[in-house]
């Protein structure tokens, strides 16, 4: 029996994929499969991965290689892996990161004991200004997820989809997949998971190691990246409406949109150009009014004053104010 399927999307990571594979091959959990999904990069990442695994004696039964139909980003590559997975649970690792050797054994044992829909650990940073620091999601009692804790989860969540394992049957039952967009695809996926979850468990240890790389895909600045972010949330809102989660968690999901779609979408756009297009500014603001029409009354604006100040300035400020908000957000490290 395959206990766990770990999916690794691969795109232009030749310099780092060997370290990732080493950490996967050292896992103490037996009967785990690793699915590498080639997203049609321009370097030798896949060839290097295949050679590395073969040289170290990896079995083709447990180290599988698949391809996306064409380059589509990490979300679509993960979807290819989900559809092919055989494990009772699935997990994800980014190919430029590593994991502690007992990460998946610890998560699997917790999952096997609790039968939880979601099981997660915490994360540690390596490289860059956060080296040695840990981060992660809130800790709840193992078992049924209460309404109060579900709301707290939505408000306090960190979108580290790679620190979780997910019960595969449950993922398929709720038809949860990553959107086709290359920005905020992890937020889309994880928010849907949290809304649908009924039972959870946590291993409160930093077992996933996030490696800072200055030229990684997630740090790219593109004039269109803001649109990908907004499109990912448009896709998310379709499912939240369909499944009535917007009615169940209106304040929490509204706050998420304010932070992760509106504020981050606006800041992403402002940071990508020195010549602001007023039509783009108007469009981003209009989307907020359409998706969250009662946002000014959101209860979390009163509880998070720093973020609330930024959001209001981004909504009503002049171009000079918007430039100032970009600078302040970068300097203050406003956590959105």
Question: Is beta strand 143-144 parallel, antiparallel or unpaired with respect to 89-92?
Answer: unpaired
With a threshold of 0.85, does the pTM exceed it?
Answer: yes
Q: How confident is the model at residue 334 (pLDDT cuts 50, 70, 90)?
A: low
What pLDDT, on the 0 to 100 scale, is given for residue 204? Answer: 97
Question: With bands split at pLDDT 50, 70 and 90, how would you rate the model's confidence at 59?
Answer: confident
**60 and 170 inside one domain:** yes
Based on the fold, state whether residues 172 and 315 are members of the same structural domain.
no
- At a CB cut-off of 8 Å and minimum separation 6, what does 310 contact? 263, 325, 328, 329, 334, 336
pLDDT number for residue 230: 97
Based on the fold, state whether residues 198 and 260 are members of the same structural domain. Answer: no
pLDDT given for residue 332 in this prediction: 61
Predicted local distance difference test score (pLDDT) of residue 272: 87
Q: What is the pLDDT of residue 328?
A: 76
Residue 134 neighbours by CB distance under 10 Å:
11
Looking at the structure, tell me whether residues 209 and 312 fall in a common domain: no
Please determine, for residue 330, whether its predicted confidence score (pLDDT) is greater than 80: no
First-last CA distance in the chain? 41
What CATH number does residue 81 fall under? Answer: 3.90.550.10
- Report d(CA 158, CA 206) in Å as an integer: 14
Handedness of CA 53, 73, 88, 98 (dihedral sign): positive
Same domain, 32 and 174: yes
Same domain, 264 and 130: no
User: Does residue 336 surpass a pLDDT of 70?
Assistant: no
* pLDDT over 80 at 333, yes or no: no
- Are residues 158 and 307 located together in one domain of the fold? no
pLDDT for 120: 98
pLDDT for residue 266 is more than 80: yes
pLDDT of 162 reads 98
Of 195, 218, 241, the domain-final residue:
218
Domains: count for the chain: 2
| pLDDT computed for residue 258 by the predictor | 98
pLDDT at 327: 80
Decide if pLDDT at 216 tops 70. no
Are 264 and 162 contained in the same domain?
no
Q: What is the pLDDT of residue 221?
A: 59
Among residues 218, 234, 266, which one ends one of the domains? 218
Please tell me the least confidently modeled range out of 66-75, 180-189, 191-200, 321-330: 321-330
Provide the pLDDT for residue 273: 85
The pLDDT value recorded for residue 7 is 98
% of residues, the chain, pLDDT over 90: 85
Asked if 19 and 119 sit in the same domain, the reply is yes
Domain with 98 in it: 4-218
Which among 165, 187, 218 is the end of a domain? 218
Domain check: are 85 and 55 in the same one?
yes
């Amino acid at each position: 029996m395959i206990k766990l399927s770990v999916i690794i999307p691969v795109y232009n990571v030749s310099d780092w994929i060997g370290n990732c594979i080493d950490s996967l091959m050292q896992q103490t959990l037996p009967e785990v499969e690793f699915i590498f999904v080639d997203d049609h990069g321009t370097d030798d990442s896949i060839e290097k991965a295949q050679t590395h695994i073969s040289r170290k004696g990896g079995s083709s039964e447990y180290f599988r290689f698949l391809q996306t139909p064409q380059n589509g980003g990490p979300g679509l590559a993960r979807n290819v892996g989900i559809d092919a997975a055989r494990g009772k649970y699935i997990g994800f690792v980014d190919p430029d990161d590593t994991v502690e050797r007992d990460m998946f054994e610890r998560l699997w044992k917790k999952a096997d004991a609790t039968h939880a829909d979601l099981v997660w650990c915490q994360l540690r940073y390596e490289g860059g200004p956060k080296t040695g620091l840990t981060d992660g999601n809130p800790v709840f009692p193992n078992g049924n997820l209460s309404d109060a804790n579900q709301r707290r989860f939505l408000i306090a969540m960190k979108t580290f989809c790679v620190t979780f394992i997910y019960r595969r049957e449950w993922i398929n039952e709720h038809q949860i997949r990553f959107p086709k967009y290359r920005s905020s695809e992890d937020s889309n996926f994880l928010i849907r998971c949290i809304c649908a979850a009924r039972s959870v468990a946590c291993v409160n240890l930093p077992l996933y190691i996030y490696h800072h790389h200055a030229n990684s895909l997630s740090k790219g600045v593109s004039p269109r990246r803001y649109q990908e972010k907004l499109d990912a949330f448009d896709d998310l809102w379709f499912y939240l409406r369909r499944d009535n989660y917007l009615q169940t968690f209106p304040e929490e999901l509204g706050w998420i949109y304010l932070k992760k779609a509106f504020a981050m979408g606006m800041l992403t756009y402002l940071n990508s150009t020195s010549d602001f297009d007023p039509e783009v500014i108007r469009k981003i603001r209009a989307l907020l009014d359409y998706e969250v029409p009662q946002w000014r009354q959101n209860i979390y604006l009163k509880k998070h004053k720093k973020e609330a100040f930024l959001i209001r300035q981004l909504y009503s400020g002049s171009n000079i104010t918007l430039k100032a908000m970009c600078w302040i957000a970068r300097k203050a490290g406003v956590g959105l």
